[in-house]
C-alpha cells in the first residue's frame, strides 16, 4: 500500500468517517455486551484479520515486524495507547453520552497530538498549524456547544472516559509515526492483539460480567467495528502516517465530529442546528488553511517525511 500514491484528500476523510461510525455501532452493541469485553473482541477480531492476510498470501515478515524485544515493546506501547486506551475510553464513554457528542469530544484529539508531535516528533507548531488547529477547535466547539449543557454524574463520567480515549489515541499516533516502516499488516495486527489483551485484563480488574447476548444487532455491530472501523481504519491510517507529517494528516480528524453529527441526525434523530452547520464550515476552513496555506513548504515537509519513512 505504501507504494501507491495515497491521496490525503481522499483517504484521510475516509478514516475520519470510519472513526465516526464507531459510536453509533458501539451504542447498538453495548446493549448486549459489557463495554471492555466488547472493545477487546473488536480489537481481537480486527487483529486476527490483519494477521491472516499476509499469512494467506505467504508474505515473509520485514525487519520492523520481526519478534525482537524492541519491536514487540514498541508495538505493545501502541496497543496500550492507541487501542486499549482509545477503544476502552470510546466504549466506556459511548454508553453514557449521545453518539453525536461522543464523536465531538473524540474530535479534540488533533490538538493533543499536535502538542505531542512538537515535543517528540519535532513537527514545529508553525503559524499554519496553529491557525488550522485553532479553527478546527473552534469549529468542534461550535458543533458541540449545544450538547455540553447536560449534566449528571454518569454523563460527566462518560465524557471523562472519552477524553482518556483521546489521550490514548494521540499518544498512539506519536508511537505509530515513530514506528512507520515498509510493512503495514503485521505491525497493526500485532498491536491490536496487544491492545485486546490489555482490554481483557482491565475488564477482569473492573469485574465485568462476561455475559454476552449474541443478538443480530451485536453481531452486525461487532462485524462492522472490527472489519471496517478497526482493521480498515488502522490500515489506512498507518499507511498515511508513512507518507505525511502527522499534523497535516491529523487535521482531517476534525471531520469526525461533522460525520458523527450527520450520522446522529440520520440514525438517532439528533437535532442539527445552524450553529453546528456553521461549526462544520469552520472545521473545513481550518483544514483548508492547513493544506493550502504555505503549500510549497508543506510539500517539502511531505517529501522529507516520506524519505525518512
pLDDT of residue 304: 46
Q: Per the domain annotation, does 75 fall within a domain?
A: yes
What domain range is 106 assigned to? Answer: 8-308
Q: Per the domain annotation, does 302 fall within a domain?
A: yes
Phi, psi of 246 (to 5 degrees): -60, -45
Go through 95-133 and write b for each residue having 16 or more CB atoms within 10 A of its CB, e for each that does not.
bbbbbbbbbbbbbbbbbbbbebbeeebebeebebbeebb
Q: pLDDT for 74-107, tens place per residue?
A: 999 999 999 999 999 888 886 677 655 766 677 7
240: number of Cβ within 10 Å:
24
DSSP helix/strand/coil, 40: helix
| Cα gap 73→194, rounded to integer Å | 10
pLDDT of residue 68: 79
Q: Per the domain annotation, does 72 fall within a domain?
A: yes
Contact 2, 239 (CB under 8 A): yes
The closest of 280, 247, 245 to 262, measured between CA atoms, is 280
Q: Per the domain annotation, does 3 fall within a domain?
A: no
Which of 5-9, 166-170, 208-212 shows the lowest mean pLDDT across its residues?
5-9
Q: Per the domain annotation, does 95 fall within a domain?
A: yes
| Cα gap 110→108, rounded to integer Å | 6
| Cα gap 8→19, rounded to integer Å | 16
Q: Which pTM was predicted? A: 0.86
- Residues sharing a CB contact under 8 Å with residue 17, sequence separation 6 or more, in sequence order: 255, 256, 259
Q: Per the domain annotation, does 1 fall within a domain?
A: no
Q: Per the domain annotation, does 165 fall within a domain?
A: yes
Q: Per the domain annotation, does 81 fall within a domain?
A: yes
Give the three cell numbers for residue 81.
Answer: 495507547
| Cα gap 167→174, rounded to integer Å | 11
Contact 285, 135 (CB under 8 A): yes
pLDDT at 241 over 80: yes
Q: How many domains does the chain have?
A: 1
Query: Which one is predicted more confidently, 47 or 149?
Result: 47
The dihedral of CA 98, 99, 104, 109: what is its sign?
positive
Contact 275, 232 (CB under 8 A): no
What is the 3 state secondary structure string of 157-194? HHHHHHHHHHHHHHHHHHHHHHHCCCCCHHHHHHHHHH
Contact 50, 226 (CB under 8 A): no
DSSP letter at 253 equals G
Q: What is the mean pLDDT of the chain?
A: 85
The closest of 294, 225, 246, 171 to 19, measured between CA atoms, is 225
- Distance of CA 4 to CAs 116, 184, 284, Å? 28, 13, 26
pLDDT at 7 over 70: yes
Contact 258, 286 (CB under 8 A): no
The closest of 159, 169, 158 to 111, measured between CA atoms, is 169
| Cα gap 118→102, rounded to integer Å | 27
Q: How much is the average pLDDT of 112-135?
A: 93
Q: pLDDT for 294-307, tens place per residue?
A: 655 544 444 444 44
Q: In degrees, to the nearest 5, what angle opens at C-alpha 123 toward C-alphas 120 and 126?
A: 135
Amino acid at each position: 500500500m505504501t507504494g501507491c500514491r495515497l491521496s490525503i484528500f481522499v483517504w484521510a476523510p475516509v478514516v475520519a468517517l470510519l472513526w465516526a461510525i464507531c459510536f453509533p455501532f458501539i451504542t447498538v452493541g453495548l446493549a448486549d455486551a459489557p463495554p471492555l469485553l466488547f472493545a477487546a473482541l473488536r480489537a481481537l477480531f480486527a487483529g486476527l484479520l490483519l494477521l491472516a492476510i499476509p499469512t494467506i498470501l505467504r508474505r515473509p515478515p520485514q525487519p520492523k515486524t520481526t519478534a525482537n524485544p524492541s519491536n514487540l515493546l514498541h508495538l505493545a506501547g501502541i496497543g496500550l495507547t492507541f487501542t486499549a486506551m482509545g477503544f476502552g475510553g470510546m466504549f466506556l464513554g459511548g454508553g453514557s453520552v449521545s453518539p453525536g457528542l461522543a464523536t465531538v469530544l473524540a474530535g479534540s484529539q488533533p490538538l493533543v497530538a499536535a502538542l505531542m508531535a512538537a515535543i517528540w516528533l519535532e513537527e514545529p507548531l508553525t503559524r499554519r498549524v496553529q491557525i488550522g488547529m485553532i479553527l478546527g477547535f473552534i469549529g468542534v466547539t461550535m458543533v458541540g456547544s449545544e450538547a455540553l449543557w447536560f449534566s449528571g454524574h454518569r454523563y460527566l463520567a462518560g465524557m471523562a472516559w472519552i477524553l482518556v480515549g483521546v489521550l490514548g489515541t494521540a499518544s498512539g499516533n506519536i508511537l505509530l509515526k515513530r514506528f512507520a516502516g515498509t510493512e503495514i499488516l503485521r505491525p497493526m495486527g500485532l498491536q491490536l492483539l496487544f491492545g485486546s489483551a490489555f482490554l481483557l485484563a482491565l475488564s477482569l480488574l473492573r469485574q465485568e460480567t462476561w455475559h454476552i447476548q449474541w443478538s443480530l444487532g451485536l453481531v452486525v455491530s461487532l462485524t462492522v467495528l472490527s472489519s471496517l472501523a478497526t482493521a480498515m481504519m488502522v490500515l489506512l491510517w498507518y499507511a498515511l502516517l508513512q507518507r505525511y507529517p502527522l499534523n497535516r494528516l491529523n487535521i482531517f480528524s476534525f471531520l469526525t465530529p461533522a460525520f458523527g453529527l450527520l450520522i446522529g441526525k440520520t440514525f438517532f434523530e439528533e437535532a442539527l442546528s445552524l450553529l453546528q452547520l456553521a461549526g462544520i464550515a469552520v472545521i473545513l476552513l481550518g483544514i483548508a488553511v492547513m493544506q493550502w496555506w504555505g503549500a510549497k513548504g508543506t510539500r517539502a515537509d511531505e517529501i522529507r517525511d516520506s524519505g525518512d519513512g
